């Protein structure tokens, strides 16, 4: 699967770990930055990833900032993006099953590496259930 990844400086370390994990498990990853630990602004990377995911509907996104909160808020400003901030594999699974999330978000200062890998694996291996959840997803999109 194609994954677009982005982070700010606070999420850089975890993003690198997760990209290596994704590539090891056979996914194609495009890292959209940041590439250094110099202070930068998380919305820049949220917007880059959101735009790529919207342009490539079969893809998914990965975003990481310090807490995961700011970068998820920025990504969710894009109609059609459902960026889910997760802290465990159960939240990752439910974000796909019930919310059809297309971007997984984590806090680099919050979540441990192994839990982050497990959550990412669950996110990518879980399908949207549809059914009763479909009408709820449609209600998210306002014109």
Active-site option among 27, 78, 98, 133:
98
Residue 88 is among the residues annotated as catalytic for this protein: no
**Alpha carbons 55 and 119: distance in angstroms, whole number:** 24
Whole-number CA gyration radius for the chain: 14
Burial of 88 (0-12, 13-18, 19+ CB in 10 A): middle
Other C-beta atoms lying within 10 Å of the C-beta of residue 87? 16
Give Dmax (Cα) for the chain: 45
28 within 8 A of 1, measured Cβ to Cβ: yes
**Residue 2 is inside which H or E element, if any?**
strand 2-7
Active-site option among 9, 40, 47, 65:
65
The catalytic site residues sit at: 65, 98
């Amino acid at each position: 699967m194609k994954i677009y990844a982005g982070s700010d400086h606070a999420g850089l370390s975890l993003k690198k770990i997760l990209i290596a994990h994704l590539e090891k498990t056979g996914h194609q990853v495009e890292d959209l930055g940041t590439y250094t630990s110099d202070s930068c602004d998380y919305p820049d990377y949220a917007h880059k990833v959101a735009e790529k995911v919207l342009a490539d509907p079969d893809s998914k996104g990965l975003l990481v900032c310090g807490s995961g909160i700011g970068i998820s808020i920025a990504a969710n400003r894009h109609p059609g993006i459902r960026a889910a901030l997760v802290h465990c594999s159960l939240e990752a699974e439910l974000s796909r099953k019930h919310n059809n999330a297309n971007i997984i978000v984590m806090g680099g200062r919050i979540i441990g590496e192994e839990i982050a890998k497990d959550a990412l694996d669950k996110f990518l291996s879980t399908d949207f259930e549809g059914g009763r959840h479909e009408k709820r997803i449609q209600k998210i999109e306002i014109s």
